[in-house]
Amino acid sequence: MDTSLATIEALYFFFRDYDVSLNCKDRNYALYKGTYDNLLWLYAFNFKLIQDAYTVGDKKDKVFARIPGYIQKQ
């Protein structure tokens, strides 16, 4: 589903909200310092790694069977 969160996104939002509730007055998200932003970088890195493997890499002739339509052909 395009409207669902990946597990890593859900964890990011949980930890970000938890951090803001503990460390920021009045739950002001403008004061959030990006402590957990690397979680999203890790997700993006792995997404790109899988896309490259199935579009130009050693698995380009194989079908990614886990999630239909996940691989974005270029």
Mean pLDDT of 30-37: 88
**Distance (Å, rounded) from C-alpha 35 to C-alpha 33?**
6
Residue 31's pLDDT band, with cuts at 50, 70 and 90, is confident
70 or 49, which is more confident: 49
**Distance (Å, rounded) from C-alpha 49 to C-alpha 56?**
11
Beta strands in the chain (DSSP E): none
Side-chain-facing half-sphere of 40: CA atoms under 13 Å? 12
Mean pLDDT of 17-39: 87
What's the confidence (pLDDT) of residue 15? 92
Find all residues with CB under 8 Å of 31, minimum gap 6, and list them.
20, 23, 24, 25
| pLDDT, the chain, mean | 86
* pTM of full prediction above 0.75: no
CB 72 within 8 A of CB 51: yes
